[in-house]
Amino acid sequence: MGWFKKSKKNAVQSDAKPELWSVCPACKAHIYKEEWEANIKVCPECAFNDKLSYKERLQLLIDEGSFKELNKEIKPTDHLKFVDAKGPYSEKANAAITKTGMNESIITGTGNINNIPVVIAVMDFRFLGGSLGSGTGDKILRAAEYALKHKRPYIIVSASGGARMHEGIVSLMQMAKTCAGIAKLNKAKIPYISILTHPTTGGVSASFAMVGDINIAEPGTMIGFAGRRVIEETIKQKLPDDFQTAEYLLKHGFIDKIVKRNEMKNFLSNVLQYTTAK
Amino acid sequence: MALNFEQPLSDLTKRIDELTKLNEDPKVNFNSEIAALKKEAQTMRGNLYSKLSAWDTVQVARHPDRPLIRNYIKDMFSDFIELHGDRCFGDDHGIIGGFATLGGKRLMLIGHQKGNSLESNIASNFGMASPEGYRKALRLMKLAEKYNLPVVCLIDTPGAYPGMEAEARGQAEAIAKNLTEMATLEVPIIVVVTGEGGSGGALGIGVGDAVLMLANSVYSVISPEGCASILWRDGKKAPEAAEALKITADSLLELGIVDKIIPEPTGGAHYDHSATMKEVKKAILKQLEKFNKISTRKLIEKRFNKYAEIGKFRKG
């Protein structure tokens, strides 16, 4: 079976036309683009859940036509006037804006999930690796305050490599800032549901993403604080294959449930029946 | 131990030591030479420490002779009663804490524990806490809330421990929970960065009403070495990364992250522990007095606004 699969993949690879095929980032299987999209980017071979853009995510979770964006104008700020080997951060940020059509690594707004009004924030990994910039943190906090004011459940879909180094300490402080927003919701008994998608690591996993009333992950999602390579170098041993996967975190008690992508919306509305029970 | 940039000073000190030894011979008298050299050394020390680069400051912040939490407990606080364990899994040695008294004020002291020898560093995991450390810290903060004691956190860590077990037991969750709970803790929290403020591992006990920094300490989202190896693809570019990341007390004060800088004696905190502690004590007591007068509601509101302001988006 392994041999057969391999040879089939290789055959495809040799004359693959990129416009016809999608390649699974996990198992490298070549899937017809049409099938790939119809399957909402879940690999039919290995069940890996590939990253979604914020538009695809909203389409998946929010009732059609109900989404209204909040604080769209918020953009990255170059607090440090940061320049690295590849040039100024401000240029990098502008390039990300042009590439994605987003102003920051997160979209926030209001919408309905099977007719239940919510406030939702969706991170998009395409924007500087979904990193937590000050604009990102500010949007998360402002959306939390909106949820508080209008007494709506708050849902954050995370996808992030962690803090944004180019904003230095200001980025680190967004961890405290976003958690302060969640703390306010907790005090006011406003539901907060965290959905962790591939990948959710570093400063995002160590802040708002991990303190949901309910933490949900997609199958195979990588979730962790320190990077795998850093840990292997520290402890001088190889880590198990399932280390830092959603399944590993479920086993260790840090997420409530792994939910398949096509079942996520209905799962959320089922949960929200309890959190907003009268 | 002499740091790289201290080399000329170290040479001079060696010369002073040699002359002092020779001077023991009653047949010679080098008193005036020694006095002159000492004066020269003091001037040099002042000069060297007045123009430290960000990377030099990192070396000072990591100096093994810098006062560590055990020194502060012994020489600055009194009547320390250490409290152990997270009531879940174990007792971490990367973060320690307990009841302590400072200038007659009773408080809850929590801080990272680095060692100053290989042995003591191994025992405290080089100041890198595991989830148990963060959970112990939160337990003690909740206890402080119950007894209406202010919390003082001393920050000095390269970062939270990046280990397999630490991940399995929820390093991310432990830090995230602390950030959330500290935002609304009903007693004042005074944070002092005494050495190395290493990213999330520092912030995990670093949310406070006042964040103070010793003049030669650093606080960063990532170590300069780590940042250099990612953004410069070369760990040796750490000095450049240190500069770019703006991790020194002056920069952080300017960025509005830090509320006050605590001065260090010429030559750094490691050169004169007691002078350093005098300043740290004065600074903490001043903050305690300030926040003692504020109502709980106002305290939490002010703390929230402080963090909401950091990196708040402004047009143009």
More confident residue, A63 or B235: A63
Residue A153 sits in the same domain as residue A231: yes
ipTM: 0.96
CA of B248 vs chain A CAs: smallest distance (Å):
11
Whole-number pLDDT of residue A8: 44
State whether residue B300 sits within 8 Å of chain A by CB.
no
Q: Are A132 and A25 in the same domain? A: no
- Ramachandran region of residue B216, left (φ > 0), alpha (ψ -120 to 50) or beta? alpha
Distance of CA B39 to the CA centre of its chain: 30
Of the pLDDT bands very low, low, confident and very high (cuts 50, 70, 90), residue A157 is very high
| Those residues with Cβ within 8 angstroms of residue B301's Cβ, 6 or more apart along the chain or in another chain | none
What pLDDT score does A15 carry? 56
User: At residue B222, what are phi and psi to the nearest 5 degrees?
Assistant: -155, 150
Check whether A19 has a pLDDT greater than 90.
Answer: no
State whether A73 and A22 are in the same domain.
no
Neighbours of B190 (CB within 10 A): 24
| Pairing assessment for the beta strands A192-201 and A83-84 based on DSSP bridges | unpaired
The residues, any chain, with a CB within 8 Å of residue A249's CB and separated by 6 or more, are A217, A223, A255
- Please state the domain count of chain A: 2
Domain shared by A242 and A143, yes or no: yes
Q: Is B227 on the interface with A (CB under 8 A)?
A: yes
B180 touches chain A (CB under 8 A): yes
- Please report residues of B whose CB lies closer than 8 A to that of A234: 161-163
Question: A42, exposed or middle or buried, with CB in 10 Å at 0-12, 13-18, 19+?
Answer: buried
Task: List the domain boundaries for chain B.
Answer: 4-51, 57-309
Helices (H), A134-190: 134-150, 168-187
Q: Are residues A35 and A145 in the same domain?
A: no
Given this model, what pLDDT does residue A237 score?
A: 87
Q: Is it the case that residue A16 has pLDDT exceeding 80? A: no
- The mean pLDDT of chain B is 96
Residue A26: DSSP 8-state: T
Residue position matching structure tokens 């050394």: B41
CB contact under 8 A, A174 and B311: yes
Give the predicted TM-score (pTM) of the model. 0.94
CA distance A100 to chain B (A): 20
Assigned architecture for domain B57-309: Alpha-Beta Complex (3.90)
Residue ranges of chain B with per-residue pLDDT less than 50: none
A182 in the same domain as A44: no
The one-letter amino acid at A178: T
B31–chain A nearest CA distance, Å: 50
Q: Which of residues 16-35 of A touch B (CB under 8 A)?
A: none
Least CB-CB distance to A170: which of B227, B308, B311?
Answer: B311
Query: Which letter, b or e, does each residue of B38-64 get, where b requires 16 or more Cβ atoms within 10 Å of its Cβ?
Result: eeebeebbeebbeebebbbbbbbbbbe
A123 shares a domain with A24: no
Q: Domain span at residue A4?
A: 1-48
Token pair for A90: 């401000």
Q: What is the CATH number of the domain that holds A234?
A: 3.90.226.10
Same domain, A127 and A73: yes
Q: Is A33 found in the same domain as A87?
A: no
- A208 with B245: Cβ contact below 8 A: no
Percent of chain A surpassing pLDDT 90: 85
Domain end, chosen from A32, A48, A64, is at: A48
Regarding whether A173 and A61 lie in a shared domain, the answer is: yes
Residues 123-152 of chain A with CB under 8 A from chain B are 133-135, 137-138, 141
Are both A55 and A40 inside the same structural domain?
no
A43 shares its domain with A59: no
Q: Which pLDDT score, from 0 to 100, does residue A5 have?
A: 43
Say which of A80, A174, A182 has its CB closest to residue B246: A80
